[in-house]
Structure 1
């Protein structure tokens, strides 16, 4: 069975107020074309379909048109789960009709599809059996059955239960991760090893690499999951939430974030966006590849050190294409309003213009020297990589190693 994994579409999202509707339309068309070219049998969409719980009408239309085309009138399966940006009822609303087209929509962890009663067209996909959080899908074109476990964004509110009555962040995180582990363990008895097996969720797994465009699942990273708490009985764990496509180390089975199809912040500048293509057979290791996407304007960060004249030459010679630009412009004196307006007109993709004068540069350098102590930098790095603050013992160990390294450098 050939599977396409994608996530984090964020339909309706803008870039600092700039409309990106056309880019999102184009990337949806590209994903649909890839599904056809790669002869995909099953599409997994792992949450954050929309940017907000109340998306614009065009974003909803684009979503429904996309999954309709992906399903190919029921000849290709499409499984969709909600993310933290989505309203679960909005995602699930169309399921009575969508199910009949091989499209399965899950908004809440308690949602389930019903087995198909009337087989109808023999070339259409159908549900053999199902329960809360899982279903068995028969695909006539591959003559294979797939067991799919679905856990849409599992917040306490959507689970309708308090997972911990503690106030300590570590206790909350531990309770949440243990809940996810137990949820998957409760499904293990349903698993059948002779079937293709896939799990899907929209969660933040510790060790995943984040970007600025993700809104944290909970302030402080309380809603994080340890990699070894993910299921060990499936062949593939399809994740959504992190916008950088990446495999997760330390997970008991092949686990991957598909990433977003477009760059949604300048922290993703120069990231290559992709969809993940998988080849699955029962009892065999998963084969996978990335197909990189070409739709969407590139996001770039550019520093110009030679003033406005150099900026004009760069835009004329190198940036005369559709781009979104985060510009740092070094000049000898503060710019007037007229000069700022002139720069704005040079390229419609200019989003940020940070003007650096010698005085500002000196102030920045002084501030960085005063604030960027090794301890602070380590804590910030650890939080970004692990989704949590380091324990005191970890900080002390880092400082010990740091000072030891500094001593060795002084001796040499």
Structure 2
């Protein structure tokens, strides 16, 4: 049995206003070809299918068409869990219909942990794997709020909540495996899924990865996952990586760069086979379907790099950062002129001199449009002379409120 592990598609995400549907369509087509080429039987999608809880019609079309196309290949089972960007009710709404295509969807935890334990069979009804399809665990799902809690109390409860949930779900999977063993099926692997931030996880500037829990303390460790798990397929972090260097606990990463910080990163999917429950892991490189290029330097260095890219027939989307000392009032015009005759386009221009000048005068001239919600609250605390000790608790409570607003499932009713 071959399993393909992917996650964090973020269908519908834009890059400084530029729609990226051609990239999404290309990566989904590549996934279908890869499934056929490697004779993949099980596809795991570990959350953040969409970039928002209200995906566009075109994003939905890409998603459903992909599921239909995969169901017509050698792939017998598709398992989808929700990530923190996804709407649980939106993903769950068609789950009964999608079962006809052998697509299992788990949008949110339910009162019964058994709902997250799915046994996969081959055409002869031989058990192939037991999947613990654990979706993104929202704060309200795993922690009971009590008055007077400290930030450390919240952190402890969140970690214990995640650990307890995985223990419950995996205990059910272990019992199923014992039952299969007594029936003569001795090597049925347990594969767990999840969408969370593990301790020591690597991120990149501009990747859009949100902190999942208040205070950013609740990064779970490897010990929250039961030892019975033969492979752990995680989503949320966009860089392919292992959890604490444990080879069978993996993030596959996002399939396309979500920002210029990821531009030079090799994207991957993971194919897993089992030999007597030992996971044999193979990383496959994903082709780059839209080159992103970050150029930083003086005006001369920027224009020279553009000329080099033109000679290479590049069609990259550019982020240009000017860090020279001279004032260049027509920086964008000069860059656009240099791009003439090429397929490249500029998505963003940053002028360090202008940024520095703005930062020096921001206090006097800034408006609400210049600040995010956290900065507005912090300015309120400063204006009211709130002490540092009190501010920490108030900021924590405020972040908890903002977090609850982000997690509200507006599609639920």
TM-score over 0.5 for the alignment?
Answer: yes
Question: 1 CA distance for matches of 2:29 and 2:228?
Answer: 34
Q: Tell me if the contact between 1:204 and 1:217 (Cα under 8 Å) persists in the aligned partners.
A: yes
1:354 aligns with 2:350: yes
- The aligned counterpart of 1:230 is 225
- The aligned counterpart of 1:300 is 293
Q: Tell me if the contact between 1:156 and 1:163 (Cα under 8 Å) persists in the aligned partners.
A: no
- The aligned counterpart of 1:110 is 110
Question: 2 CA distance for matches of 1:162 and 1:92?
Answer: 25
Question: 2 CA distance for matches of 1:7 and 1:226?
Answer: 20
Spell out, residue by residue over 1:120-176, the C-alpha distance to the aligned partner (whole angstroms, 9 max, x if none).
xxxxxxxxxx9222121212279443111111110123x275266564333222211
**What runs of 5+ residues in structure 2 fail to find an aligned partner?**
179-185, 361-413
Spell out, residue by residue over 1:29-78, the C-alpha distance to the aligned partner (whole angstroms, 9 max, x if none).
00111011010010000000000000110000100111222222785200
1:257 aligns with 2:267: no
- The aligned counterpart of 2:93 is 93
> CA 1:73/1:97 → structure 2, altered by over 3 Å: closer, same or farther?
farther
Question: 2 CA distance for matches of 1:304 and 1:359?
Answer: 15
- The aligned counterpart of 2:155 is 173
Q: Tell me if the contact between 1:109 and 1:150 (Cα under 8 Å) persists in the aligned partners.
A: no
Deviation at 1:233, TM superposition (A): 0.5
- The aligned counterpart of 2:367 is none
Spell out, residue by residue over 1:262-307, the C-alpha distance to the aligned partner (whole angstroms, 9 max, x if none).
00012212110011000024x4310011111114212232223352
Question: 2 CA distance for matches of 1:73 and 1:280?
Answer: 21
Question: 1 CA distance for matches of 2:211 and 2:278?
Answer: 32
Deviation at 1:99, TM superposition (A): 0.9
Spell out, residue by residue over 1:292-350, the C-alpha distance to the aligned partner (whole angstroms, 9 max, x if none).
111421223222335265355334334x412122222344521224x422313544432
Q: 2:128 aligns with which of 136, 140, 145?
A: 145
- How does the TM-score come out when normalised to structure 1? 0.75
Q: 2:329 aligns with which of 332, 336, 340?
A: 336
User: Any idea what SS the aligned residue of 1:291 has?
Assistant: strand
- The aligned counterpart of 1:58 is 58
1:288 aligns with 2:281: yes
Q: Tell me if the contact between 2:132 and 2:170 (Cα under 8 Å) persists in the aligned partners.
A: no
Alignment of 1:123-272 (within 5 A): 131-140=114-123, 143-157=126-140, 159=141, 162=144, 167-190=149-172, 191=174, 192=177, 194=186, 195-211=188-204, 212-213=206-207, 214-249=209-244, 254-272=248-266
**What runs of 5+ residues in structure 1 fail to find an aligned partner?**
113-129, 365-412
Deviation at 1:178, TM superposition (A): 1.1
**What is the Cα-based RMSD across aligned positions, in Å?**
2.8
Question: 2 CA distance for matches of 1:142 and 1:294?
Answer: 36
- How does the TM-score come out when normalised to structure 2? 0.75
Deviation at 1:357, TM superposition (A): 6.1
Name the one with the larger helix percent.
2
Q: Tell me if the contact between 1:74 and 1:101 (Cα under 8 Å) persists in the aligned partners.
A: no
Spell out, residue by residue over 1:177-211, the C-alpha distance to the aligned partner (whole angstroms, 9 max, x if none).
11111112223432115322101111111111112
Q: 1:279 aligns with which of 273, 281, 291?
A: 273
- The aligned counterpart of 2:304 is 310
Spell out, residue by residue over 1:73-113, the C-alpha distance to the aligned partner (whole angstroms, 9 max, x if none).
7852000000000000111111111112110011011188x
